[in-house]
Amino acid sequence: MKKSVAAREKKVSGKTGTQTSQESIRSTPISRMAALGGTGAKVGINYLKYYGKRALAGGSDRSLEIHARELDEENASTIYDTFSKLKGGPLKLAQMLSIDRNLLPRAYADQFVKAQYSVPPLSYPLVVRTFRRDFGKEPLDLFETFGREAAHGASIGQVHKASRKGKDYAVKVQYPGVAESLKSDLRVVKPIALRVLGLRERDIDQYFREVETRLLEETDYTMELERSLHLTEASGHLDNIRFPKYYPEFSSRHVLTMEWIKGQPLDKFADGEASQADRDLIGQALWDFYSHQVHDLNLFHADPHPGNFLVKDGVLCVLDFGCTKQITREFYRKQFRFLDPNLPENPQLLEEALRDLDVILPIDRPGEILQIMTLCRTWLDLLALPFRSGSFDFGDPGFLKSIYDMGEENRKADHLRTMKGQRGSPDTIYVNRAFFGLYSLLGRLRSRVKVSLPDWLK
């Protein structure tokens, strides 16, 4: 395994060094569709940029801290620079809009997002008001105890600990009017982003709408409850994974109540002293959970960041289904066809797959098609690597680093500036976000995972 990653790295950096090939890639407007069809790759890269680099830093907390700070400072200073360079990246807008929760280095996120989407803590009287509004009752009418201070924050609200008849509950309460302020924030952000990034509205419209839809879904606790119940039931048979119980009777539009689970946050577990066997166990549970959701259910938890998971007695607990993504069977087939081991070797099949996903458009000339395919092959060799050999060691820092470097290389390239037509599907954003998130979580966990292709690709 080590060997193949090393070889991969070599190949990637070799490519960077080849001036002519890079030039030609740069000058191609469409080569920005470098990843499996696009936008989401960029979104994912930023997951990696933060979590991946952390994983690479390895070692002591101190070095992690230093690393995080470096990352922040680096970004704070280059932020304007970056943005002015990234003209043409409809990807960037999507990315910018999807960094609603610390996916990016903090200094970066602060500039664009924190002011927009993070909400201050709710006062206790406001929590009471929200309960009265939704249940006609106060928290203490429903529960025997109810913590006045929030136990911790949630993306658009906060979590209170409550108890009743000897059971503990986690009660998520949403800030009032958050959906509306989100909408108006987006309305404000959109034209600014378009201008700063030098984008045409019609080019990014579908990405924008996709991100907006997901963000708004997160504000709908009624929907989150339904999805949580559904995914919990449909994934209940998996090993070493559990879900909190949900309580519809104590849930409403602004309140979502679930079982209180005491466990170790996944990032603490990953950065702690856990044995390799435990790391493999948790990593496998995570991998199996995602495989099941994506390949069997076509509905998945699209926000794999450490805050959404706890580890308790060797079992992985999945806490938050705020951001889920449903894909159609048809799209699923188009997208995951790229995992077919025969695809990279067969130009005809590859071209067909890329056309199916609208990455290659009818307007493209043969030269452009060839470039897209070359780029796609390079990405596939890297991203599909875990699927190639039955098991994979995500603890190998070379793997994440290669993805990260490749993303950076693409990000810095000037060719992002122009493009013709909308390419790829907006559905790809969250598929990629989920996979990049998953890869970086597993990297941080340093797990060795058994991987198999879905049956239809075997």
For other proteins, the binding residues (CB under 8 A) are 120, 122-126, 128-130, 132-133, 138, 140, 175-177, 180-181
Q: Token pair for residue 311?
A: 């580890």
* Paired residues of 164 in beta bridges: 167
Cα(179)–Cα(215) distance, integer angstroms = 9
- Are 197 and 93 contacting, i.e. CB atoms less than 8 angstroms apart? yes
- Are 156 and 323 contacting, i.e. CB atoms less than 8 angstroms apart? no
| Pairing label, strands 145-146, 152-154 | unpaired
Q: Is 205 exposed, middle or buried (0-12, 13-18, 19+ CB in 10 A)?
A: middle
Q: Closest separation between CB of residue 177 and other proteins, Å?
A: 4
Pick 175 or 250: Cβ nearer other proteins: 175
Q: Closest separation between CB of residue 265 and other proteins, Å?
A: 28
Q: Is 387 exposed, middle or buried (0-12, 13-18, 19+ CB in 10 A)?
A: middle
**∠ at Cα 243 (445, 284), nearest 5°?**
30
Q: Closest separation between CB of residue 183 and other proteins, Å?
A: 10
* Nearest residue to 366 (alpha-carbon basis) of 2, 63, 30: 30
Cα(318)–Cα(159) distance, integer angstroms = 15
Pick 132 or 209: Cβ nearer other proteins: 132
Q: Closest separation between CB of residue 185 and other proteins, Å?
A: 13
Cα(400)–Cα(377) distance, integer angstroms = 18
Host H or E run for residue 149: none
Pick 124 or 332: Cβ nearer other proteins: 124
Q: Closest separation between CB of residue 220 and other proteins, Å?
A: 12
Q: Closest separation between CB of residue 139 and other proteins, Å?
A: 10
- Are 148 and 162 contacting, i.e. CB atoms less than 8 angstroms apart? no
Pick 131 or 309: Cβ nearer other proteins: 131
Q: Closest separation between CB of residue 121 and other proteins, Å?
A: 9
Pick 124 or 247: Cβ nearer other proteins: 124
Pick 39 or 219: Cβ nearer other proteins: 219
Pick 178 or 429: Cβ nearer other proteins: 178
Q: Closest separation between CB of residue 144 and other proteins, Å?
A: 13
Pick 58 or 153: Cβ nearer other proteins: 153
Long-range contacts of 157-163 (CB under 8 A, 24+ apart): 157/119, 157/122, 157/254, 158/121, 158/122, 160/127, 161/260, 162/257
Please tell me whether residue 125 adopts helix, strand or coil conformation. helix
